[in-house]
């Protein structure tokens, strides 16, 4: 279980207060690792208060543990792990996931099968078997975001005009190129990640994977979705924003997460789309993001979740 001096893959798992899920995630990683696999496994603990770091030391002494003294967010925490990554390929894996079978090995094979592939993701399933849309989607242009949040995408799932953000008009059971995959399970060539500076620290939580994929595509890399293997995702276990969360999250944390999610939308929009619209349209879009933030906070206060 010890890290290999010459690994083919570095696996970075960023953890924040989901100790039990983290241990299950690590169990699934090592359960499916074979003697042929040369993996370096790194856990970055983002200043958890639930004993996560101590549990990793006890249960998985061969894992390289990085203990951050403060919560650096998703981008900052993962970048901390990148500094220790030795392999030419890096897998960013959420702690609230379970790896199924040879998902990691097959994804690595796919990534290395084409020099044009900068990043590859697998099928990410929610606990009830549904596809986590984040692993297979387009970019959130203002129009794509509008059709998604107004429900037009669900009403017309097979029409690209209305469902380009969720990309449901594409066959999610076949492998193909996409705009964006999820940071929940994102395998990337180290050289590609270095070209974009890996994770953008302008984002604290949420939206980082969209920026990551957007930046890769700007550099000419392809993003590939490979659904013939899968992981299970207990989505929202750190933020508490989804019904699929595998851990109880305090209301204050959920409210902060909702704020960060809205902030991520504003950051991405201003970086990539803001200048494309007339002033009154720009302001209307920003107002829409603010309204969505208030609506989500209202749902949290009243005890509801995103789904």
Please say whether the beta carbons of 84 and 66 come within 8 A: yes
Q: With contact defined as beta carbons under 8 Å apart, do 110 and 121 qualify? A: no
Q: Report yes or no: 154 and 54 within 8 Å, Cβ to Cβ.
A: no
Range of lowest pLDDT (24-38, 44-58, 237-251)? 237-251
Whole-model pTM: value is 0.88
Residue 153's pLDDT band (cuts 50, 70, 90): very high
Residue 275 backbone phi and psi in degrees, to 5: -70, -10
Query: What is the per-residue pLDDT for 3?
Result: 45
Mean pLDDT of 251-268: 83
What was the pLDDT predicted at 246? 59
Report the residue count for the chain: 307
Residue 241 pLDDT grade (very low, low, confident, very high; cuts 50, 70, 90): low
Average of per-residue pLDDT across 119-142: 95
Q: What percent of the chain shows pLDDT beyond 70?
A: 93
């Amino acid at each position: 279980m010890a890290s290999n001096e010459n690994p083919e893959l570095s696996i970075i798992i960023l953890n924040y207060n989901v100790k039990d899920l983290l241990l299950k995630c690590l169990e699934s990683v090592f359960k499916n690792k074979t003697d042929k696999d040369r993996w370096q496994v790194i856990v970055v603990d983002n200043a958890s208060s639930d004993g996560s770091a101590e549990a990793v030391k006890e249960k998985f002494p061969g894992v390289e543990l990085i203990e951050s003294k403060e919560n650096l967010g998703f981008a900052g925490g993962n970048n901390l792990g990148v500094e220790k990554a030795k392999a030419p390929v890096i897998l960013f894996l959420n702690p609230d996931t379970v790896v199924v079978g040879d998902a990691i090995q097959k994804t690595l094979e796919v990534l290395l099968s084409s020099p044009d592939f900068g990043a590859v993701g697998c099928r990410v399933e929610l606990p009830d078997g549904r596809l986590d849309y984040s692993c297979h989607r387009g970019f959130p242009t203002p129009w794509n975001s509008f059709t998604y949040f107004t429900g037009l995408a669900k009403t017309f799932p097979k029409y690209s005009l209305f469902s380009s953000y969720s990309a449901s008009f594409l066959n999610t059971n076949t492998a193909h190129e996409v705009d964006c995959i999820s940071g929940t399970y994102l395998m990337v060539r180290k050289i590609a990640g270095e070209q974009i500076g890996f994770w953008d620290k302008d984002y604290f939580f949420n939206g980082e994977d969209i920026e990551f994929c957007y930046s890769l595509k700007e550099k000419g890399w392809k993003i590939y979705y490979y659904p013939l293997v899968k992981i299970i995702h207990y989505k929202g276990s750190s933020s508490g924003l989804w019904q699929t969360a595998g851990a109880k999250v305090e209301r204050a944390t959920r409210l902060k997460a909702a704020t960060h999610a809205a902030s991520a939308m504003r950051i991405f929009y201003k970086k990539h789309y803001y200048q494309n619209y007339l002033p009154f349209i720009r302001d209307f879009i920003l107002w829409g993001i603010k309204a969505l933030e208030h609506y989500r906070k209202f749902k949290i206060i009243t005890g509801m979740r995103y789904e």
